[in-house]
Chains A and B, each alone.
Chain A
Amino acid sequence: MNQFEYIRTTDSKAAIKAMTKTGEAQFLAGGTNLVDLMKMRIVVPDRLIDINPLPLRDIEKTLTGLRIGALASNSEVAEHPLVKKNYPLLSLAINAGASAQLRNMATTGGNMMQRTRCPYFFDVTLPCNKRSPGSGCSALEGYNRMHAIFGASTACIAVNPSDMSVGMATLDAVVHVSGPKGDRSMKFTDFHRLPGNEPQKDNNLLPGELIIAVDLPASRYPQNVAYVKVRDRNSYAFALISVAAALDIRDGIIHTASLGMGGVAHKPWRLTAAEAFLAGKKPVDENFRKAAAISMEGAKAYVLNKFKLTMAPNAIRAALQQAAAKA
C-alpha cells in the first residue's frame, strides 16, 4: 500500500472540504472495499479522509418511513427491529451478502460505493476501462461468467456486486448526499449508473459529494418478500443472479409488486415491466412465469454467461413463489 495523508474528522463539511483539495482523496468508512482496493493498487489515494467519527450512524423513524445514516453498518441495519419488522426484504438482502464480520464493518454508504468484482478490474496488469479508461475491456471476450446481461456497453460489461443495493432499489429508497455545492437527494435507482462510455463512473455522485443517509418510504412490503441469491456456494460468494421480490397481496390479488435483480447489470436492476404486469394479478406460478419472461426482454449474454438468460427468469420465479408463500 502507498503512503497517504490521513485525516480524521467529526464534521461532514470539513470532510467534504478535505475531499476537494488537490490530489486524489477518498472517504474511508468501513474500509472493507477501499482497503482491499488499495492493497491491490487499484485505488492509490493521496489522502484518506476517515469519516467514521461523523454523526451519521443513526437509524431513525421519519414521518413516513425510516432514515438510515450513511455510516450505519450493514449488520446494524439488517438487525434493526424496525428494518426487520417493516422492511424485511432489506434484512434478507443485506444478510445474503459478504460475511458477518464484513457486515459489521461495512457501512450503508460504503456498500453503495462498492466497486465491481470483475477480475480484470482487479488485475492492474490487464486492460480495463473502468480502472484505466481507454485501455479496453478484457471481459468482453474474456472470463465473463459473472458479467452483465442488461444495460452493458462495449466499454464495460461489469456488474455491481451489492446485495444491499438491490434491496434498497427494490424498496424505492432515496439517497441524500451533501457536497461542495450543497445538499441534494436522488432516487436510489438513480444513484448507480450504467457504464456507457464512462465505466470509470459507478454512480452519479458529483466530485466531493458525501452520502449522508438513505431514506426508506412508508413500508409497503412487511410480509410477502424474498431474496433469492444464486451463487457458486451456499454463502460468502457474490451473486450469479440475485432477485429481490416484494408483493403486497390483498384478498388474494397482488396489489403492487416490487422486483429488483442483482448480478445482471452495472446497477441494481429494477424489473418495472414485470411489476406492472403483476399488479392486479393473482399470485400464481403462471403469472410469475410470465413476469419472469417479461423481465428478460432486452437481455444480452456473452460467451460464458449465457446461462444467466435461464437462471435469471428462474430465480425471479423462485423469488416470487417464495414471497407469495410467506404467510
Chain B
Amino acid sequence: MKKVVIGESVSRVDGRLKVTGGAHYSGEYPLPNLAYGVLVPASVTSGTIVDIDSKAAAGSPGVRAVITHFNAPRVPGYQAGAAKPVRGLKLFADNKIYFNGQPIALVVADTFEQATFAAGLIKAKYNRESFATDFRSNLEKGVTPQGGRYKDYARGDASLLDNAPVKIKQEYSLPSEMHNPMELHVTTAWWDGDDRVTLYTKSQGVISSQRSIAAAFDIPEKNVQINSRFVGGAFGSSLRTWPHEVAAVQAAKMLKRPVKLTLTREQMFTLVGYRPLTIQKIGLGANTDGSLIAITHESVSQSAVYEEFTENSVNISRFLYASPNVMTRYKIVPLNVGVPTPMRGPGEATGAFALECALDELSYVLKMDPIALRLKNYTESDPERNLPWSSKHLKECYEVGMEKIGWSNRPAVPRSLKDGEWLVGYGVGCGAFGAYRGKANAKIKLLPDGTVIIQSATSDIGPGTGTAMTVIAADILGLPTDKITFELGDSSLPVAPTQGGSATVSSVGSAVHDVCTAFKKKIYGLTGKPEDSTEAIAWSELLPKLNLPYLELSQESQGNDTAKNYSMYSFSAHFAKVYVHPLTGMMQVKQIFATVDAGKIVSHKTAASQMIGGAVGGLGMAMTEEAVIDDRYGRLVNGNFADYHVPVNADVQQIDAYFTDKPDPIINPVGTKGIGEISLIGVAPALANAIYNATGVRIRDLPITPDKILEGEEKLG
C-alpha cells in the first residue's frame, strides 16, 4: 500500500464494515436476558398526572415492569441538592407534564412486541392546565436568555439605518426542524453490581455521556462504561445525555437485567431536540454604492418552559461584513414543547438565512450583483472583535463558485430566464462558523508486527473521524493506512471532547498529530538518532530489535495562547441553480456548488461527502422541512418520515464541493478549521435567493414549498 499524506482522498477505514452490515450500532449488541423498553408519551400538553392505570399493561404477557413516577427508583442526580444535578427534564421524578409527548411511563418486557403492545394499554388521568405552544401569539413573552452571553450587542449607532439612502427591513422565519438521524436513538444498559454500569448508547461524546450517567446515579465516572462505536447520524441530537437514556439505566437497575430502550421515529420528534422555530428581523442600510451603513438583526426563538435553550443566531451579522454600525438582539420564548438542541450549523445557519437573504434583497434594490455587493463589504479583519482573521480566503470561494455555477448566466432581472417551461434562477449564500480547538488526548501503541493502534475517546457520527485520524497518523508516521487502527467511541479511551462544533479534526486530529510526532521522536531517541530526524522508520523491525513487547505513548494536546490574538472562522459561499415550474410550483435544485475555506483538508473524499451532505441538509431546511404543532392540542401533527419531509434522492441532482485547502497558520498544527457546520450554513439562503431569481417571488418563511410559490405568483399578478 502506498504512502498516504494529509489531504489525500482515501476510502473510509470502516467502509467495509458499513457496506456488509458488520458495523454494530448501539441497539445491535446481543446480550443475554435482554429486556425491551418502550416509552409511553403523555397525551396532554401541560398539567399534572393524577393517576396512571398500568394494571392491564403490567398483566400483559411478557411485561416485567411498568415504571412511572409512582414507583420509579430514585435517581440521585434528580434530587434537590444533588452534588451534580441532572440538567433538563427528569423522567418519572414527579407528576408534572411540560409538553405533549413527554414520557409518563416506561414499559419493559421480554420482547419488543410485548413491550410495545403493553405500552398502548397504559391509561393516565391528568389534571390539565393551560399551555402555550403557539410561538407567534406568544412573542411578547420573549425574554433575554440568562447569563451575559446573549445580551444585546451594539457597535456604533445602528439607528443610522433609518437615514440610509437604501434600506431593507424584512422579517424571516423558519419552523422547527428535526435532526432525524436515520438511526433511532437507542440505549442498551446493564449493571454489574450496584455501582457499575455499561451503556451502548447513541452518543456524540462518550466522555460527556459517562459524566452525565455517573452524576445521575452518583457513582464514580470510572464505573460508567460508555460504548458508541458506530453512530447512525446525529447532527447534534446526541450532543447531550437525554432523559430516556437515564431511564434505560434506571430500568436496568430495577430489573437487574440488560434493558434496551429504543425511541420510535415519532418519539424522536419530541424527545431529542430540534432546530427551534425562529423569527428574525433584519435591517440593512447602505449607500448607493452598496457599502453598508448599518445592520440590525433581531432574533426570537422557541425554547422550553422547563429548560432554556440558546444559540448564536444573530452573531454572524456582527462580523461577516464590514459595517460601522451594528445592533443585534436575541430573545427566546419558553413554550410547552420539548427543549431544542443544536442542529447542524446551529444558530449560524438560522442567522445566515436571514442575513444572506436580506443582502440579496438589497442587491436587487441597488441593481448590483450580489457578489459585487459582498465584495464591497468584504472585511479583512474581524470588525466585532477587532482582531485579524487567522486566515480568510472567501474571495477565492466567490471566484471559483461563480465560475462553476455559471454565474454569468444569472439574469439580473428576476423571472427572466427560462429553460423550456421551467423558470431558472441562480443564488448565493455565505456563511461562517467559528474554528475551535479543544483539549484532547490520544494514545499510540506500536505492536511487534509493525502495526499501530491509536486511541481517543472521540466519536464518529458519520463524517469519517477514524479515516481522518488514520490519514494524519499515516502521514506523520510514514505508515500505510492499513497498518493503522484508530479506535474511538469508548469512554475508557483517552479523554477527548464531544463531536460537535466542527472541531473534531482540529482537536482530536491535533492530539493524533502531536502524539504521532512525539512518538517518532521517542523512537529516534531509542534508536540513537537525532530527535528531528526525517529518516523513515522500519516499523516492523523496531520492537524485535529493541526487544520490547510493545511501545506506547499518550499525549494531551491543546491550542496555545497565540490563538487568542486572532479571530478564527471557516468561511463558505454556496451557489445554487434552481428550476421552478411556474404552473405547479414544483422545484428542482439543478446544482449546488459549495466553496469553502476550512483551512487544510485532511481527507478530501470524506470531506467532500460531508460538504455535499451538509448541502442536502440545507436543501431540506430551505425547501422541505417543517415540524407542525396543532396549537389547539399542543401536539405535533406531522411527526413521522411521511409527513415531515427530509430530502430524498430525487431532490438532489448535482452537488460539488471546492476547498481552498490552505492551512490556517494559527489554529492547530495541521491547519484545519472544520467543515461540519459550514457545509450547511449558507445553503438555505443560496436556494431561497435562487428561487427568487427564478420566479420573482421572495419567500421569507421556510420551507419554500410549491404552494408558497403559487401564492407568491398570484401576488405578482
* Chain A hits for B651, CB < 8 A: 233-235
In this assembly, does B345 line the interface, its C-beta being within 8 Å of a C-beta of chain A? Answer: no
Name, among A1, A228, A234, A240, the residue most crowded by chain B CB atoms within 10 Å (CB to CB). Answer: A234
- List, in ascending order, chain B residues with CB within 8 A of A138's CB: 630, 632-633
Q: In the complex, which residues of chain B have a beta carbon less than 8 angstroms from the beta carbon of A2?
A: 117, 120
- What separation, in Å, do the CA atoms of A120 and B630 have in the docked complex? 10
Which chain B residues (101-144) contact chain A, with CB distance < 8 Å?
Answer: 113, 116-117, 120
CB closest chain-A residue, reference B703: A232
B624's closest neighbor in chain A, by CB?
Answer: A233
Q: Which of B116, B633, B703, B706 contacts A311 (CB 8 A)?
A: B706
A117-B643, A123-B635, A238-B642 known; A232 vs B706 contact (CB < 8 Å): yes
Residue of B113, B116, B421, B645 touching A233 (CB-CB under 8 A): B645
> 1/0 per position for B609-634, CB-CB distance to A under 8 A?
00000000000000110001010110
User: A310 and B710 in contact (CB under 8 A), knowing A1-B117, A117-B643, A123-B637?
Assistant: yes
Question: CB-nearest residue of chain A relative to B588?
Answer: A234
Q: How many A-B residue pairs have CB under 8 A?
A: 94
Contact status A314-B637, CB under 8 Å: no
**A234–B624 alpha-carbon span in the complex (Å):** 10
Q: Which residues of A contact B643 (CB under 8 A)?
A: 117, 119
- Contacting pair B632 A142 (CB below 8 A): yes
B703: chain A residues within 8 A (beta carbon): 232
Interface residues of A in 142-161 (CB under 8 A from B): 142-143, 145
A311 x B584 contact (CB < 8 A): yes
Contact A143 B630 (CB under 8 A): yes
* 0 or 1 for each of A212-240: is its CB under 8 Å from B? (1 = yes): 00000000000000001011111111101
Chain B contacts of A41 at CB under 8 A? 120
- Number of B residues near A (Cβ < 8 Å) is 37
B638 in the interface, Cβ–Cβ < 8 Å?
yes
| Residue B705 is within 8 A (CB to CB) of chain A in the complex | yes
CA distance A143 to B643 in the complex (A): 12
Return the chain B residue nearest A234 by Cβ: B650
Task: Decide if A1 touches B630 in the complex (CB within 8 Å).
Answer: no
Give bound CA distance, A132 to B22, whole Å: 45
Nearest to B653 among chain A residues (CB) is: A234
Residue of A nearest to B589 (CB): A234
The chain A residue sitting closest to B632, CB to CB, is: A142
Are A232 and B705 within 8 A (Cβ)? Answer: yes
B83 near A: Cβ within 8 Å?
no
Q: Does B648 contact A (CB under 8 A)?
A: yes
CA distance A145 to B708 in the complex (A): 12
Q: Report whether A126 and B584 are in contact in the complex, using a CB–CB cutoff of 8 Å.
A: no
Contacts of A120 in B (CB 8 A): 637
B649 contacts A235, CB within 8 Å? Answer: yes
Nearest CB in chain B: distance from A147 CB, A: 12
Cα A3 to Cα B121 with chains together (Å): 13
- Judged by a CB distance under 8 angstroms, whether B411 is at the interface is no
- Within A113-136, the residues touching B (CB, 8 Å) are 117, 119-120, 123, 125-126
In the complex with contacts A234-B651, A240-B707, A3-B645 CB distance below 8 A: no
A311 to B650, CA, bound (A): 21
Q: Assess whether B584 is in contact with A314, with CB atoms less than 8 Å apart.
A: yes
Q: Does A307 contact B (CB under 8 A)?
A: yes
Residue B365 lies at the interface, judged by CB distance under 8 Å to chain A = no
Q: B710 and A232: CB pair below 8 A?
A: no
- Does A323 make an interface contact (CB < 8 A)? no
Question: Which residues does chain A contribute within 8 Å of B707, judged by CB atoms?
Answer: 145, 240, 307-308, 311
Answer yes or no: A28 CB below 8 A from chain B CBs: no
> What is the CB-to-nearest-CB distance from A59 to chain B, in angstroms, rounded to a whole number?
27
**B374 adjacent to chain A (CB < 8 Å):** no
How far does the alpha carbon of A318 sit from the alpha carbon of B581 in the complex, in Å? 9
Cβ-based interface call for B711 (8 A): yes
Nearest Cβ distance between residue A102 and chain B, in whole angstroms?
11
Q: Are A119 and B117 in contact (CB under 8 A)?
A: no
Q: Considering only CB atoms, which chain B residue lies closest to A145 in the complex?
A: B707
Contacts of B116 in A (CB 8 A): 1, 39
Cβ contacts under 8 Å, B585 to chain A: 230, 311, 314
Any chain B CB within 8 A of the CB of A315? yes
8 Å CB contact of A240 from B624, B650, B706: B706
CB–CB B649/A143 < 8 A: no
> Once the chains are docked, how many angstroms separate the CA of A237 from the CA of B421?
23
What residue in chain A is nearest B707 (Cβ atoms)?
A307
Chain A CB within 8 A of B43 CB: yes
B174 CB to closest chain A CB (Å) equals: 16
Q: Mask for B678-717, Cβ within 8 A of A = 1, else 0?
A: 0000000000000000000000000101111011001000
Chain B residues within an 8 Å CB radius of A317: 583
Cα distance A117–B459 in the bound complex, in angstroms: 38
The secondary structure that dominates the A interface is loop
Residues of A with C-beta under 8 A to B584:
228, 230, 241, 311, 314-315, 318
Tell me the bound Cα distance from A212 to B643 in angstroms: 32
Query: A119 and B638: CB pair below 8 A?
Result: yes
In angstroms, how far is the closest chain A Cβ from the Cβ of B694?
16
Most A-side CB within 10 Å, residue of B633, B637, B645: B637
CB contacts (< 8 Å) of B624 on chain A: these are: 232-233
A240 / chain B contacts, CB cutoff of 8 Å: 706-707
User: Known contacts being A117-B643, A119-B637, A228-B584, is A307 close to B117, with CB within 8 Å?
Assistant: no
| Residue on A nearest B116 in the bound complex, by CB | A1
Mark interface residues in A296-326 (1 if CB within 8 Å of B CB, else 0).
0000000000011011001101100100000
Contact call A235/B650, Cβ cutoff below 8 A: yes
Name the distance in Å between A197's Cβ and chain B's nearest Cβ. Answer: 24
A216 shortest CB reach to chain B, Å: 27
**Is residue B647 within 8 Å, beta carbon to beta carbon, of the partner chain?**
yes
A327 CB → nearest B CB, Å: 15
Q: Are A230 and B630 in contact (CB under 8 A)?
A: no
CB distance from B47 to the nearest CB of A (A): 14
Q: How far is the CA of A1 from the CA of B118 in the complex (A)?
A: 9
Report the bound CA distance from A169 to B120 in whole Å.
38
Does B586 sit at the interface, judged by CB under 8 A?
yes
Q: Which of A126, A307, A310, A321 contacts B633 (CB 8 A)?
A: A126
Contact across chains for B650 and A314 when beta carbons are under 8 A apart: no
Closest residue of chain B to A3 (Cβ to Cβ) is B117
CB neighbours (8 Å) of B630 from chain A are 126, 138, 142-143
Closest chain B CB from A144 CB (angstroms): 10
How close is B266's CB to chain A, nearest CB, in angstroms? 9
Complex: A233 Cα to B120 Cα, angstroms: 33
Q: Which residues of A contact B710 (CB under 8 A)?
A: 307, 310-311, 314
B569-602 vs A, Cβ < 8 Å mask (1 yes, 0 no): 0000000000001011110100000000000000
Nearest residue, chain B, Cβ from A316: B583
In Å, the complex CA distance between A145 and B120 comes to: 29
> When chains A and B are docked, how far (Å) is the Cα of A143 from the Cα of B584?
22
Alpha-carbon gap, A321 to B420, bound state (A): 13
Interface centre among B588, B705, B707 (most CB of A within 10 A): B707
A131 to B: closest C-beta gap in Å: 14
Is there contact, CB below 8 Å, between A1 and B113?
Answer: yes
B583 touches A318 (CB 8 A): yes
- Assembled-state Cα–Cα distance A238/B117 (Å): 29
User: Which has the most chain A C-beta neighbours within 10 Å: B120, B651, B708, B710?
Assistant: B710
For residue A123, which residues in chain B have a CB less than 8 angstroms away from its CB?
Answer: 635, 637
A211–B116 alpha-carbon span in the complex (Å): 32
Complex Cα distance, B587 from A240, in Å, reads 14
Least CB distance, A83 to chain B, in whole angstroms: 23
Q: A236 to B637, Cβ gap below 8 A?
A: no
Listed from nearest, the 4 A-B pairs whose CB atoms lie closest are: A235-B650, A307-B707, A234-B650, A119-B637
* 5 A/B residue pairs, CB under 8 Å, sorted by A: A143-B637, A230-B585, A234-B586, A238-B642, A310-B714
Residues of chain B touching chain A, judged by Cβ–Cβ distance below 8 Å, are: 43, 113, 116-117, 120, 421, 581, 583-586, 588, 623-624, 628, 630, 632-633, 635, 637-638, 642-643, 645, 647-651, 703, 705-708, 710-711, 714
**In the complex, given contacts A142-B632, A228-B584, A233-B650, what are 17 additional A-B residue pairs having Cβ atoms less than 8 angstroms apart?**
A1-B113, A1-B116, A3-B117, A126-B630, A138-B632, A232-B645, A233-B624, A234-B650, A235-B650, A236-B648, A238-B642, A310-B710, A310-B711, A311-B584, A315-B583, A318-B584, A321-B421
